[in-house]
Amino acid sequence: MQSSIVAGDEVVARYFETFVNRRFYTIQSARPKPNSTRHWFYRPKDKDKTPLFLSLGTIRRHLEGTVTIGLYAINPNTQRCKWVAIDADYPDALEDLLKLQWELRQDGVEAALENSRRGGHLWLFADMPLLAKDCRIYIFNLAKRLKVPVKGAGLADGIELFPKQDGVPADEFGNALRGPLGIHRGAGKRYWFYGADYTLEDQMNYLSRLKRITEDEMKRFVTGLEMPEELVPKPRVEPAYYQRSGSSGREFLRYRRRLSRDPVVGVDDDLLRLRAVWRSGVVRAEEDLILGPGLPEARALDRDVVQDDVARDQERPLRDPHRAGRGDADARRFPAETGEAQRGSPRAEPTHDRSHLRGHDACCTGSQRLGIGPAPGE
């Protein structure tokens, strides 16, 4: 992709000062994915597979159109960012970005609107790097007040905010955004900022004139504000372990459950997979769902799905790869997998009554109420 634009040293240095907050970067692929029109981004690495640092030479190539880079907003050493970008690429995206730009101006914040293939990007710049968490609280509350949709808050379309996290660990990267003033490889064209002539020098002069947000101003903006509840990341739930009463041996079962919203379990309607693995009588419940004594897990299960999955597992039981090749010993201990179930094994058919799946029975453990543990007295 040829370009007649030449980036001078001063333009390159000002671009670096304005947009680069972390030296790691990404590159947009020159060719789309097979059977697709999408060009993906990847982190360039050296021969030792170590991520490369962004150099002034690479920025020059980006501005001249040889490559297209992606930039990270957050510096993990400080959890701060030099800029905030609001990405909108849905119907009426430009209208929403203009509403945000006008409202920001009422707070004394000057934002630059960049054209894009399906909408636009609204850029805000900091006088000194600001805490990513404060930037996110400010913009999301502003969007909520203006009724601007936010992608991910129960909506498929809406604005996306960079930085996408309140902070990132030192060994992670976060999410990169295509650097402005380069050539989009998919569209094959350069997108400019509104408000200045379409030259690199005029564009950078325009960005330099914009008023930057100071830290004192940001503190004033977010005083008394919190992240909107619908945008608060859900905490990651660690797997829990429970002792199975009266157990012996090991079994391996896999079920798929349809879960309904429950105030305790807190899982949206979705088809998830619940894996329960017995190891010496200890049950592990995974996939962000904790099942244990006292939780109303039985109410979170769809009985028809449970019965269908149990029937399917009986017809085509799953094998535990850890027991492969153990022969007759497994035939005695795990008849359902070895074919002995059809020859009269006492464990061929489940004996636990699942009629009480939607209630709580004091005689059952959490796993027994699901129908995947031994019946009382077994």
For residue 58, the domain's CATH number is 3.90.920.20
User: Is the preceding omega at residue 163 within 30 degrees of 0, hence cis?
Assistant: yes
Q: What are the C-alpha distances in Å from 77 to residues 6, 94, 212, 221?
A: 34, 34, 22, 24
Per-residue DSSP letters for 215-246?
HHHHHHHHTT----GGGSPPPPPPPEEEEPTT
Domain count, the chain: 2
Segments of the chain scoring below 50 in pLDDT: 241-306, 310, 318, 320, 323, 331, 333-334, 336-342, 345, 348, 356-363, 366-370, 378
162 with 267, same domain?
no
pLDDT at residue number 299: 38
218 with 71, same domain?
yes
Domain membership of residue 48 as a residue range? 9-231
Final residue in a domain of this structure, among 183, 213, 231: 231
pLDDT at residue number 31: 86
174 with 39, same domain?
yes
343 with 263, same domain?
yes
CA distance 253 to 248: 15
Instruction: Decide if 359 is inside a domain.
Output: yes
Q: Where are the alpha helices (DSSP H) in 180-302?
A: 200-209, 215-222
Does the model's pTM come out above 0.95?
A: no
Instruction: Decide if 287 is inside a domain.
Output: yes
pLDDT at residue number 1: 56
265 with 212, same domain?
no
pLDDT at residue number 43: 92
Tokens of 356: 């009480």
Residues 71, 64: contact at Cβ < 8 Å? no
| Sign of the alpha-carbon dihedral angle for 92, 97, 102, 107 | positive
DSSP 177: E
CA distance 142 to 371: 49
Final residue in a domain of this structure, among 231, 257, 276: 231
Final residue in a domain of this structure, among 205, 231, 257: 231
